[in-house]
Amino acid sequence: MSPLLDTPVEIAIVDYGMGNRRSVEKALEHIGARASITSDHDQLRAAAGLVLPGVGSFPRAMENLRELGLDELLRERVASGTPVLGICLGLQLAFDSSTERGGAAGLGIVPGEVHALQAGALKLPHIGWNEVRLTRSDSPLLESLPDRCAFYHVHSFAPVPADRCDILAEAEYGAPFVTIVQRGSFYGVQFHPEKSSAAGLRLLANFAGLCLAAAPVPG
């Protein structure tokens, strides 16, 4: 498969010790982006866009981000209009709080909370391919994606945005849950685009395009 990007763009993957950083890096390189894994503040500020990956516990992840000063940096970059993509736990961390393991405060970028999936008799964590239904089609993140397409999920919790206007897509596992959000320049997906074949690569290429459009023009 040829790269999906005509023009390379610098995207930094936030390294706070959690998440499948290398597989995200490889997927970004596959679409034609220049990707780096770093916790260096100068590198994260210089990149045209950031990816916040994540696998594991919400409270532990927030602790790691705070220890490295990355919580304030992420808020700063979103406030400045820099595209930031949260993947799986990285999506959840953008919310005000989570009920996981007794609860913890999040980054507060997207109003709302993260709750356990209401899966009924279904097994948790929810692992595998699941059809995602787009509820809005006006976001550039979703360009060239069909209204319904499958992505690979691995999670037991999902966000509940306070404002339904922030929701781009939902899926169902026992009950409906939110799986794509956008708030300003923050984009978040509950699934793993780097493990989601052509649709996942298309979404990552769309995000890279957003980073390219937002990058300062060299003077």
Preceding peptide of 111 cis, ω within 30°: no
Catalytic residue among 88, 126, 153, 155: 88
Query: Is 41 contained in some domain?
Result: yes
The reply to whether 120 falls in a domain is yes
206, part of any domain: yes
Question: In the prediction, which pLDDT does 218 show?
Answer: 58
Q: Tens of pLDDT along the chain (219 residues)?
A: 446 777 889 999 999 999 889 999 999 999 999 999 999 999 999 999 999 999 999 999 999 999 999 999 999 999 999 999 999 999 999 999 999 999 999 999 999 999 999 999 999 999 999 999 999 989 999 999 999 999 999 999 999 999 999 999 999 999 999 999 999 999 999 999 999 999 999 999 999 999 999 987 655
CB contact at 8 A, 74 and 14: yes
Q: Which domain holds residue 38?
A: 10-214
Residue 168 lies inside a defined structural domain of this protein = yes
The pLDDT of residue 19 is: 82
Provide the number of structural domains found in the chain.
1
In a domain, 1, yes or no: no
Which of 100, 149, 194, 211 is an active site residue? 194
Looking up residue 86, the CATH number of its domain turns out to be 3.40.50.880
- Give catalytic status of residue 192 as yes or no: yes
3-state secondary structure of 197: helix
The answer to whether position 38 is within a domain reads yes
Is 149 tagged catalytic?
no
